[in-house]
Amino acid sequence: MGKINGIFRYQKYMSFFRMRFLAGLQYRAAAFAGVITQFAWGFMEILVFRAFYEVNPGAFPMTREALSSYIWLQQALLALFMTWFLENDIFHTITDGGIAYELCRPTDLYVMWFFRSMANRLSKAVLRCLPILIVAAFLPAPYGMRLPASPKAGLWFLITGLLGFLVVVAFCMLVYIATFYTYSPVGIRMVAISMVEFLSGSVVPLPFLPEGFRQLIELLPFASMQNVPFRIYSGDISGMEIYTRAGLQLFWYIALVWLGKRLTAAALKRVVIQGG
Amino acid sequence: MIEVQHISKTFQVSRRGAGFSEAFKALFHRQYECIKALDDISFRIEDGEMVGYIGPNGAGKSSTIKVLSGILTPDRGTCSINGRIPWKERTAHVNEIGVVFGQRSQLWWDVPVIDSFELLRDIYRVPRRLYDSNLEELVTLLKLEELVRTPARQLSLGQRMRCEIAASLLHSPKILFLDEPTIGLDAVSKIAVRDFILEQNRKHKTTVILTTHDMQDIETLTKRIILIGKGKILMDGSLEHIRKRFSATKKLTVEYRGKHIIPCDGMELCSSSNQIASFEINPDKLGVSDAIAHISSQVEVRDLSVESASIDKIVANLYQQYQI
C-alpha cells in the first residue's frame, strides 16, 4: 500500500515532466542551430588535440579513439551534462515573485523543479543527439565515434550516464536555490559555471590535467558528471574502477540532493515574494 | 472556518536616495528600514462567507493573502484554517484552497490552456469524473469553449483572467482567495467574473476572500468588508453599516422650471446651471421627502433623482478619515 501511494505521489511530478518535455520539443530552430554549433565545436576540439598528439604522442593520456568518442558524446549530449544549461524561467519565478503560484500547489518545490530541469534537458538532448551521433559514427578513424569498448562498457555507460545526469541536475538545483539568498543570480552563475566547466572535464578531459591535482579533483562532485560515463564508454575507465566511480557518483547525488532540500526548506521559511 | 489571531510580519526594505553618490554610499553602508506589513491582525471568517478585503496600495492586503495561503510565514501570531496552520501544513492546506493572483499567471505560456488544466488535475490528483464535471461547469459559466484550446500567450487579458479563475477552481477548493481578480478587465469581463464568483459561492458554499480596488466588485460581491491600512485592521463590518456610518448624505438632483431655489436647513446647494440643480442632503436634519416638498413649493419640478454617495467616495472618505 505504501509503495502504491509512493508511485501515485510521483505521478504529478511525471505529468509535470511530460509538460516540460513536450514544451521543450517545440524549439526546432534552436535545436538545428545547436547541432551546427556542436559539430563545429567538436571538429575544432578534435583538431586541437590532433596537434597535441603530433607534437608528443607519448604524453597523450588517452587513446585517440577514446578521445574522439569522448568529444562526440560530449557534443551530442551537451544538454544533459552542461551545467551552464540553466533554466531562466526558474530564476525569473524567484526574482519576480511568480513562485507564489508554485507554492500554492500541493507539491514539493524541490522535487518539482528537479523534474522540470530533467525534462528540459532531456527534450533538448533528444532533438540534438541523433544527428551528431550518426554523422560522427561515419567519420574515419581515429576521428569518428566508435561503438562502446564492450557490452559491459555500454551497459555501465548507460548506468553512470544516468547517475552523472542526476548529479548535474542536483548541482544546478543548488544554483537555483542560491537565488533565494542573493536575489541576483548572475554572480553565482558566473562563478559556478566557469569553475565547473573546468573541473568536470568539459573544457579538457580530466586525464589531461597534471598528476596530483587530477587525483584531487576526481573526488569532487564535478568529476562525477560527464567524466565517468564518457570514459567508461571508450574503455578509458574499466574493471573495478567502474564500480568505485559509480559509487562516488551515487554518493554525490545523494549528498547534493540532501543539501538542496535542506537549503530549500530554510529558504522557504524566510522567503519574500517579490513584487506585491 | 478561518481564524486569524494577532498576526504580524515585518519586512526589511533597503532605501536610498537617487543618484550616483547615494548608490555608491549604499554599497558600503546600507540603510534598512523595517516596514510593518502586518501589525497585529485578527479576524474570523465563517464557512461560505464572502469578504471584501480593502485598503490603499501597500496596506498589507496581499501579505495577508500570502499568509493565509501558506506561502508567507508571519513573525508572530497564529492562524487556523479548517483546523490547519497554513505555513506549517502547507501541502495539506493548499489542497483545499484556490488562489488567483490577478497580477501573475499560473497558465503555461506556450501551450493551450487545456494542457495547463490537465497538469493541475494531476497535481491536485482530482478524480477523473470530478474533473470532467468541474471543467464542464467552468467552461460553460465562464464561456471558455474556444479559449481552452488556445495557447495562453495568445489570449487577451480578460480571456486569460477567466481561464486563471477556472484553473483555481478545478480541484473544488473550499476557500477561494482572489487577489485583485478584475484588475485590467473590461466591463463585460468584469461582470462575467463577478456573476461567476457569486454563482460559485451560492452553489458550492465556497468561502471567498477578495482584495480589490474596484468598489463595484465589493458592492456586488461582498456583504462584509475588512478595511486594512498600514498593516492594521481599521474596520470590520457590513457594507450597509459602513454606508450608514460614513456616507449619510444623499445627493438630490432636480430639473426645474422657475427662479432660483433657496435651500433650507439640512440641504446644501452643490451645483446649479441651466435649470438643473443638485443638493447634498443631510438626513439627520432633513428627510428626503421634506426636501422635495421644500423644493416643489418654490419651483415647478420636471425631473428628479436621489442617489446615495458612491462607494468609491465612501472609501476615499474612509481612507482620509483614517489617514492611510
Residue-by-residue DSSP string for B125-191 = T--HHHHHHHHHHHHHHTT-TTGGGSBGGGS-HHHHHHHHHHHHHTT--SEEEEESTTTT--HHHHH
The string of pLDDT tens digits covering residues B142-188 is: 888 889 999 888 988 888 888 999 999 999 999 999 988 888 788 88
Closest approach of A132 to chain B, Cα-based (Å): 28
Q: Which contiguous run of DSSP H or E holds residue B7?
A: strand B2-14
Over residues A150-177, mean pLDDT: 94
- Which of A19, A96, A104 best tests the B interface by mutation, with the highest count of B CBs <10 A? A104
Over residues B305-322, mean pLDDT: 76
Give the integer Cα–Cα distance in Å for A93 and A103: 11
Q: Which of B104, B110, B111 sits opposite A100 (nearest CB)?
A: B104
Mark out chain A residues that contact chain B at CB-CB < 8 A.
8, 11-12, 14-16, 19, 22-23, 26, 97-98, 100-101, 103-108, 269-273, 275-276
Average pLDDT score over chain B: 85
Q: Do A16 and B123 touch (CB under 8 A)?
A: yes
Q: What are all long-range contacts of A215-218, with beta carbons under 8 Å and residues at least 24 apart?
A: none
Least confident stretch, A6-15, A81-90, B35-44 = A6-15
The answer to whether residues A102 and A109 touch, using CB atoms and an 8 Å cutoff, is: yes
Q: A-contacting residues of B 88-107, CB under 8 Å?
A: 90-92, 94-95, 97, 99, 101, 103-106
Using CA coordinates, name the residue in chain B closest to A13. Answer: B123
Over residues A48-70, mean pLDDT: 88
- Which of B11, B35, B72 best tests the A interface by mutation, with the highest count of A CBs <10 A? B72
Average pLDDT score over chain A: 87
Residue B246 CB partners (closer than 8 Å, separation 6+): B314, B317, B318, B321
Q: Which contiguous run of DSSP H or E holds residue B3?
A: strand B2-14
Write down the pLDDT at residue A274. Answer: 55
Give the integer Cα–Cα distance in Å for B273 and A21: 69
- Which of B66, B116, B172 best tests the A interface by mutation, with the highest count of A CBs <10 A? B66
Q: Which three cell numbers stand for residue A125?
A: 538532448
Q: What percent of chain B has pLDDT over 70?
A: 98
- Per the model's pLDDT, the better-predicted residue between B240 and B153 turns out to be B153
The CATH class given to the B2-243 domain equals: alpha beta
Give the integer Cα–Cα distance in Å for B150 and A124: 24
Give the integer Cα–Cα distance in Å for B226 and B318: 12
Q: Where are the domains of chain A?
A: 2-270
Cis bond before residue A142 (omega within 30° of 0): yes
Residue A92 CB partners (closer than 8 Å, separation 6+): A98
Chain B residues inside the 8 Å CB shell of A21: none
Complete edge-to-edge strand list for the sheet that includes strand B97-101:
B97-101, B175-179, B207-211, B50-54, B224-229, B232-238
Reported confidence tier of residue B135, pLDDT bands at 50, 70, 90: very high
Distances (CA, A) of B277 to B183, B254, B270: 36, 5, 8
The answer to whether residues B299 and B261 touch, using CB atoms and an 8 Å cutoff, is: yes
Q: Do A15 and B118 touch (CB under 8 A)?
A: yes
Q: Which of B99, B108, B119 sits opposite A104 (nearest CB)?
A: B99
- Per the model's pLDDT, the better-predicted residue between A10 and A8 turns out to be A10
Reported confidence tier of residue A244, pLDDT bands at 50, 70, 90: very high
Give the integer Cα–Cα distance in Å for B15 and B24: 13
Reported confidence tier of residue A65, pLDDT bands at 50, 70, 90: confident
Least confident stretch, A175-179, A184-188, B33-37 = A184-188
Write down the pLDDT at residue B244. Answer: 74
Give the integer Cα–Cα distance in Å for B121 and A12: 9
Reported confidence tier of residue B129, pLDDT bands at 50, 70, 90: very high
pLDDT for residue A12 is more than 80? yes
Write down the pLDDT at residue A1. Answer: 39
Using CA coordinates, name the residue in chain A closest to B125. Answer: A12
Using CA coordinates, name the residue in chain A closest to B87. Answer: A269
- Give the amino acid at A124: K
The answer to whether residues B163 and B152 touch, using CB atoms and an 8 Å cutoff, is: yes
pLDDT for residue A122 is more than 90? yes
Q: Which of A22, A97, A108 sits opposite B104 (nearest CB)?
A: A97
Q: Do A19 and B110 touch (CB under 8 A)?
A: no
Q: Which of A16, A101, A269 sits opposite B73 (nearest CB)?
A: A269
Q: Do B71 and A103 touch (CB under 8 A)?
A: yes
Give the integer Cα–Cα distance in Å for A104 and B92: 11
Q: Establish if B75 touches chain A: CB-CB under 8 angstroms.
A: no
Write down the pLDDT at residue A276. Answer: 47
| Highest mean predicted confidence (pLDDT) among A126-135, A186-195, B5-14, B271-280 | A126-135
Q: A-contacting residues of B 116-155, CB under 8 Å?
A: 118-119, 122-125
Write down the pLDDT at residue A7. Answer: 61
The position carrying cell 465563517 is B46
Reported confidence tier of residue A232, pLDDT bands at 50, 70, 90: very high
Q: Do A19 and B115 touch (CB under 8 A)?
A: yes
Q: Which of B104, B115, B124 sits opposite A101 (nearest CB)?
A: B104
